[in-house]
A and B are shown apart, each in its own frame.
Chain A
Amino acid sequence: MRRALRSRTLVVGLGLTLLTLFGVIAGPWITPFSPTEMDFIAVLTPPDMTHWLGTDSFGRDVLSRVLSGGRVSLFISLCGVGIGAVLGVAAGMTAAWRGGMFEVALMAACDLLFAFPSFVLALFMMVVLGFGLHNIIIAVALAYLPIFARLARNLTRTLMHEPFVQAARLMGQGGGRILLREILPNIFPTLLVQASVGLAFGIVMEAGLSFLGLGVQPPMPSLGVILADGREYFTRGPWVLTMTGLVVSVALLGLNLLGDALRDLTDPRLRQAAGP
């Protein structure tokens, strides 16, 4: 029963995630409308058979905008979490392996970054770096770096004294080679789980920053920009904000379910270690 439930989570999560990816990648071929083309005859039409999610105040098709905005948001989250993960894991694994002052200093720095609310940290970075697409990626990366660094360091520490690592050491393999060839493949599944959950939070972070006007700047569509747009004329056309958010929620649901299922598959004991 539990096993069936688990695989159902995996199936639904994977299905929704693949659907999201398909929609975002194949967006231009799915909808006949351009995300930027204005149509002043069809301004603020509610959802119908032609415009599945309605149109916005410029007569632009909301579905086309959500799909192309989703591509921008997913790109930001993917790059941000990717950069944060690569740098964080490299730093965390090195810290665990070398120990000493480097480890103490890195963990202290992580604790410090971790003590700022991640959205506040991202907001702060946007002011320091300036608004815009590239800088959100850096802000997301910085918010995730301490999470991955700490996770990788803890996981590496648990494996460092395992027999297979000792064996590699006795065979005279160097530290970098052991970390990459012996330890990384073993901790990779757990890191992947963290990344899939991180991807969802990266999307929320982009949406939040752009929603406030501090992230991606119009006319480039991103999920946050479309949501902010929908807020402007919420009372006249509530479907823009409502539908866009609904699509975002379904996409995030897919990622979260996928993360859950993968987490159960890898190691249930690590459930506590990997917060969102």
Chain B
Amino acid sequence: MAASRRAAVLLLTVLAGAMVVFFAMKAAPGDPALSALGENARPELVAAFRRLHNLDLPVGEQFATWISGALRGDFGRSLTLAGGVPVGQLIAGRLPVTAFIGLYALILAGVISMIVGTVAALSRGTALDTLMTSFAVLGVSMPDFWLGYVLVFFLALNLPIFPSYGFVSPSDSLPGALLSGFLPALAIAAPMAAVFSRVLRAALLEVMHRPYVQVQRSLGLSSSFVFLHTIFRNALIPYVTIIGLQVRYLLGGVVVIERVFGIPGIGSLMVDGAFGRDYPVIQACALTFLVIVLGTNLLVDLLCARLDPKARGR
């Protein structure tokens, strides 16, 4: 019951999001046909362009055509790229790249924050804690695209193993992709790692003083067992929740970083679309990002339910 309700809400959200994306774009000033073909285009050409992109239909019908196509992965044709390449094809080709960079950044942020957060919590009040916590505040204050450049400048130019520009697709060579994606992923991960480690530190400190932990300690269980099995596990719930909330910001970082490093993902596609006022591309990209966020939220909720014994019973 709860699952079907949840699925219905999810579907309605996607539908509402699609409507917002579609009608907001329609409200944008300017004629897409004229902006794609030029102000002085011949009237026959403009008419043909309008027919090809369904722009001659009433708006309601345009939406119906668009949404029913979108459900099948058909988002219309690009107004600018390669003489009208199908947008669905563009998205399908670029989604794996964005997924790779996003996951890579998420894993880096996860690993860094696990170390920083745990060390800071265990050495609470010492100089090490202050150092780690300061790094965390600093990390969240640096614009990620700027950090990307600085990393390239100081790392890629001195350590030639990291390329400074360009990206090897994971389907071509996984080691190449891991290497060429490292600096971009690190730039996206830094602010995330800062937020995650602060949350993990706070959560660990909070759980450490709960009664059930003291009971386990007093029963003589080894402190490493108590830490790993009880404290860490319980602290993971807020940690996973914040990761879910931060995916929105992570994807924002992905958009800029993809463009900065010349990575052919959904983000750079959307920016290219924005410059060309390529409405079908922008609509499809925005909708794709929406679906990624909603999917992640669902995943996080399921994960939290598994982690939290109290939520499991419900």
Contacts and interface: CB of A to CB of B under 8 A. Distances in A.
Contacts of B297: 115
Interface stretch (B48-56, B83-91, B251-259): B251-259
A252 B146 CA distance: 13
Contacts of A255: 141
A276 B149 contact: no
A112 B140 contact: no
Contacts of A207: 143, 145-146
Interface in A199-220: 200, 204, 207-208, 211-214
B24 A116 contact: no
B207 interface: no
A119 to B, nearest CB: 3
Contacts of B130: 5
A189 interface: no
Given A119-B256, A127-B282, A272-B238, A241 B271 contact: no
Given A124-B24, A245-B142, A248-B146, A116 B137 contact: no
B252 A118 contact: yes
Interface string B127-147: 000100000011011110111
A256 interface: yes
Interface string B1-28: 0000000000001001100110011011
B274 A126 contact: yes
Contacts of B242: 275
B137 A127 contact: no
Contacts of A200: 141
Interface in B134-178: 137-138, 140-143, 145-147, 149-150, 153
A151 interface: no
B153 A234 contact: yes
A231 interface: yes
A276 B195 contact: yes
Given A116-B290, A119-B255, A128 B146 contact: no
A111 interface: yes
A130 interface: yes
Contacts, number: 133
B55 to A, nearest CB: 17
Q: Tell me whether chain B's interface is mostly helix, strand or loop, or mixed.
A: helix
Contacts of B212: none
B274 A253 contact: no
Nearest to B291: A115
Nearest to B294: A115
Interface in B262-288: 270-271, 273-275, 277, 282, 285-286
Contacts of B29: 130
Interface string A222-246: 0000010001001000100110110
A253 B141 contact: yes
Contact of B286 (A108, A124, A212, A248): A124
Contacts of A208: 143, 145, 252, 256
A49 interface: no
A146 to B, nearest CB: 11
Given A120-B255, A128-B27, A128-B28, A112 B271 contact: no
Contact of B143 (A108, A126, A204, A256): A204
A188 to B, nearest CB: 24
Nearest to B202: A271
A152 interface: no
A200 B28 CA distance: 29
Interface string A30-43: 00000000000000
Contacts of A227: 143, 145-146
A257 interface: yes
Contact of B249 (A117, A213, A214, A252): A117
Contacts of B145: 207-208, 211, 227
Given A120-B270, A211-B256, A213-B275, A249 B141 contact: yes
B72 to A, nearest CB: 22
A242 B150 contact: yes
A245 B150 contact: yes
B58 interface: no
Name, among B16, B140, B242, B285, the residue most crowded by chain A CB atoms within 10 Å (CB to CB): B140
B289 interface: yes
A112 B16 contact: yes
Contacts of A118: 248-249, 252
A126 B138 CA distance: 29
Given A242-B153, A253-B138, A256-B140, A120 B289 contact: yes
Given A124-B286, A234-B149, 18 more contacts: A112-B20, A115-B293, A117-B247, A117-B289, A119-B249, A123-B255, A124-B24, A127-B25, A127-B274, A207-B143, A213-B275, A214-B275, A227-B143, A242-B149, A252-B141, A252-B142, A256-B140, A275-B246
18 contacts: A115-B297, A117-B248, A119-B252, A123-B274, A127-B25, A130-B29, A208-B145, A212-B259, A213-B275, A227-B143, A234-B149, A242-B153, A252-B142, A253-B137, A256-B140, A256-B141, A271-B202, A276-B249
Q: Which 9 A-B pairs have the closest CB atoms?
A: A119-B252, A245-B146, A117-B251, A252-B141, A253-B141, A117-B248, A128-B28, A249-B142, A117-B252
